[in-house]
């Protein structure tokens, strides 16, 4: 799989570079978050990040006044395993070079998504992007064997507990959290844990990336 840069034109259908913010202070604070060496960790809301000045900028300018949360995904990941989407954009800022694997929600057909349609993008250290609501995404991939740290800015309450309801359609079967819909690869830990299996094709790893 070819790895593009988020500054390449191929990224435009999935998101945009956040060039209107100064991430210097934010990245320094994000670097203090734990980055496990052997697994992936996600925290939806981190007090130290939400106390920074940029929180109000994200809330006011980025999400037009909506309540938001700033969390972090970090650790060591070398396999795609799943793709998810939210019904809102997500801001990601990285402390080290990392790879985002992205797809299009519109390419899901009858609850199935062909992973050959994915594209991979290098998100460099210190750069931020908006990932559009229609873009499938999941845990970033580690580059060079180094644990990653990527902020996750979303509407408040996203990725928390799934509401209780009886699914009546395929999309409702994908729901596994608040504002969270996920398709797992059959060969993934997510599938073993009962997540909706919707990915068909190769479960891409870091070895498949062509820089």
Helix, strand, or coil here: 197?
strand
pLDDT < 50 stretches in the chain: none
User: In the prediction, which pLDDT does 183 show?
Assistant: 98
**Tens of pLDDT, residues 107-123:** 999 999 999 999 999 99
25-64: string of b/e by CB count within 10 Å (b at 16+)?
A: ebbebbeebebeeeebbebbbbeebbebebbeebbeebbe
User: In the prediction, which pLDDT does 119 show?
Assistant: 98
Domains and CATH numbers, the chain: 3-208 (2.60.120.10)
Put simply, whether the predicted model's pTM sits higher than 0.75 gets the answer: yes
Beta strands in the chain (DSSP E): 3-5, 15-17, 40-43, 68-75, 82-85, 90-93, 98-104, 113-114, 119-123, 128-131, 135-136, 141-142, 148-155, 175-177, 180-184, 199-200
**Tens of pLDDT, residues 13-45:** 999 999 999 999 999 999 999 899 999 999 999
Of 163, 160, 161, whose CA–CA distance to 44 is shortest? Answer: 160
User: In the prediction, which pLDDT does 59 show?
Assistant: 98
Chain Cα centroid distance, residue 60: 22
Structure tokens at 129: 């992007």
User: In the prediction, which pLDDT does 129 show?
Assistant: 98
């Amino acid at each position: 799989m070819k790895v593009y840069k988020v500054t390449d034109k191929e990224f435009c259908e999935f998101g945009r570079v956040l060039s209107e913010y100064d991430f210097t202070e934010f990245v320094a604070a994000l670097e203090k978050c734990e980055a496990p060496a052997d697994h992936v960790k996600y925290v939806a809301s981190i007090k130290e990040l939400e106390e920074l000045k940029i929180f109000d900028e994200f809330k006011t300018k980025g999400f037009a006044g909506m309540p938001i949360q700033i969390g972090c995904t970090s650790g060591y990941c070398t396999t795609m395993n799943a793709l998810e989407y939210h019904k809102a954009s997500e801001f990601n800022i990285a402390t080290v070079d990392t790879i985002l694997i992205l797809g299009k929600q519109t390419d899901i057909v009858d609850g199935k998504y062909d992973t050959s349609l994915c594209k991979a993008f290098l998100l460099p250290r210190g750069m931020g992007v908006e990932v559009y609501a229609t873009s499938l995404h999941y845990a970033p991939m580690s580059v060079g064997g180094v644990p990653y740290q990527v902020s996750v800015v979303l509407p408040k309450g996203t990725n928390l507990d799934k509401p209780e309801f009886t699914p009546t359609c395929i999309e409702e079967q994908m729901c596994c959290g608040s504002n969270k819909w996920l398709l797992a690869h059959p060969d993934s830990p997510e599938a073993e844990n009962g997540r909706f299996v919707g990915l068909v094709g190769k479960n891409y790893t870091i070895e498949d990336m062509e820089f």
